[in-house]
Amino acid sequence: MKLFKLRGGIHPEGRKASSADRAIRALPLPPRLYVPLQQHVGAPAKPVVQVGDTVLAGQLIGAGQGNISAPVHAPTSGRVVAIGDHPAPHPSGLSAATVTIAPDGEARWFEHDVPADPFALTPDDIAARVGAAGIVGLGGATFPSAVKLKLSRKSGVDTLIINGGECEPYLTCDDRIMRERAAEIVAGIRLIQIAVGARHALVGIEDNKPEALAAMRAAAAGTDVEIRMVPAMYPMGWDKQMIQALLGREVPAEGRSADIGVLVHNVATAWAVQQTICLGRPLVSRVVTVSGGAVAQPCNLEVPIGTPVQALFDACGGFRSTPARLVLGGPMMGHQLTHTSVPVVKGSSGVLALTQAEIGLTRPAPCIRCSSCVRACPVGLLPLEMAARVRTDDLAGAETLGLKDCIGCGSCSYVCPSSIPLVHYFNYAKGELMAQARSKLKQEATKKLADERNARMERIAREREEAAAARKAAKAAREAAAREAAAKVAAATEATA
């Protein structure tokens, strides 16, 4: 099967062997589950339970709000012991609204409607069930899946691509899911295909995952789901890179894959869709890779949403050495954790405990303009030129060079011989541009309010003047009428006399 030429990309050391060959294990329930109400792109969920309530596994505890949002469900049965702020899995270490549940250990499930024939459901029914289950993109984007299904159907998507790339070092959760749950993934793919009306369904899997390829091909036999092998490289897990490799189509700058008739979902998302439609189970757990040189026994764990990160490390035998850095997600696009009390959320594909040797910190040196970053950029940007403009605070110039198209993959930083943290420059610049845009919107809104107030005050003054003039005219008319009446009376009196 033909593959198309790709732009840029790098080949970092995989470091996947330590966890890839170990079967997924279920993580025992911790004493507390901290379930954030914001685990997705869009508006946070609104709590629909109160402290003291008893909940069942899969029961709604947070309702989605607005057009882009996702509900949140109880990962297990137990009692709600708190609703308030708890440290969120974010580099800032700040807190977020969270529902805290004390598990009862019984894992009693809330009963959901299960269709007799899932494949006989209408596209709208499938999308509605996916939305009610709180499913989001499990590859890390966490965009509400139901919204993508509805938008893709309206856009006339003809091809569904399921991303089994998993190109980040250390991460093997998707690999293990494909090896162990291939039949369920294929069923989920077929359901998504029905939901969007796609004529073609492709699964792209990197060539360094032979067991996953074999399992998925066996499961897809007799269906119209095609399993294709793509080269192992980073960032093959980027949806636009996968589209380019499989179809040769390029997504326009600042555009969406639906603009070229393609919808991309992650393999774990397809599995979650199958669990929801066929078994009636909302998204309340996910498979997480626990790895890194400091972890005693790296592996993949099935983890209830809301489990503190420390519980994952404990289940893997703790640390063999003191970690130099804790990372949520992969080492390329994940973010640093300040402590291990933060919970696992829907987008948590991995938790890593890295040693100093794995981090390999070196002091940045001046740019030698070798253009290694240009060759590595999968988007075709000029990282060295953008960084030069960011350093001089020329954010508009960096934006002109395509800053908004940067996906933050870190390929440029990885290959830079001067160890310049290029991706940090770009993330900073994008944050500043967003802040400036928000400030501009605020100024415009303030100006609009001021203009509206001025117009209102002018209207009130004008209406007062008009009312005063009307009263004055009415008074003059009354006085004129009174004089006229008096004159008539005087005339009549004279005539009588």
Residue 444's pLDDT is what? 92
Angle, nearest 10°, between helix axes 145-155 and 182-196?
50
The half-sphere exposure of 350 on its side-chain side, counting CA atoms within 13 A, is 35
**10-residue stretch averages of pLDDT, the chain, 497 residues long:** 84 94 95 95 94 97 93 97 92 87 95 93 96 94 93 92 95 97 98 95 96 97 95 92 92 86 96 96 97 96 97 96 94 90 95 93 89 94 95 94 92 94 93 91 93 94 94 92 86 76
Residue 1's pLDDT is what? 64
**Please, where are the H alpha helices in 296-368?**
309-315, 356-359
Total-model pTM:
0.87
By residue count, the chain amounts to: 497
Residue 484's pLDDT is what? 87
Cis peptide before 71 (omega within 30 of 0): no
Under 8 Å between Cβ of 127 and 150: yes
Give Cβ neighbours of residue 300 (< 8 Å, ≥ 6 apart): 19, 22, 23, 24, 25, 172, 173, 176, 287, 288, 289, 290
Residue 109's pLDDT is what? 95
Residue 497's pLDDT is what? 63
Residue 23's pLDDT is what? 96
The half-sphere exposure of 73 on its side-chain side, counting CA atoms within 13 A, is 25
Q: What is the CATH number of domain 365-472?
A: 1.10.1060
Under 8 Å between Cβ of 71 and 136: no
- Pairwise CA distance, residues 55 & 79, whole Å: 6
Q: What is the CATH number of domain 117-336?
A: 3.40.50.11540
- Pairwise CA distance, residues 342 & 89, whole Å: 5
Please state the domain extents for the chain.
117-336, 365-472
Under 8 Å between Cβ of 181 and 273: no
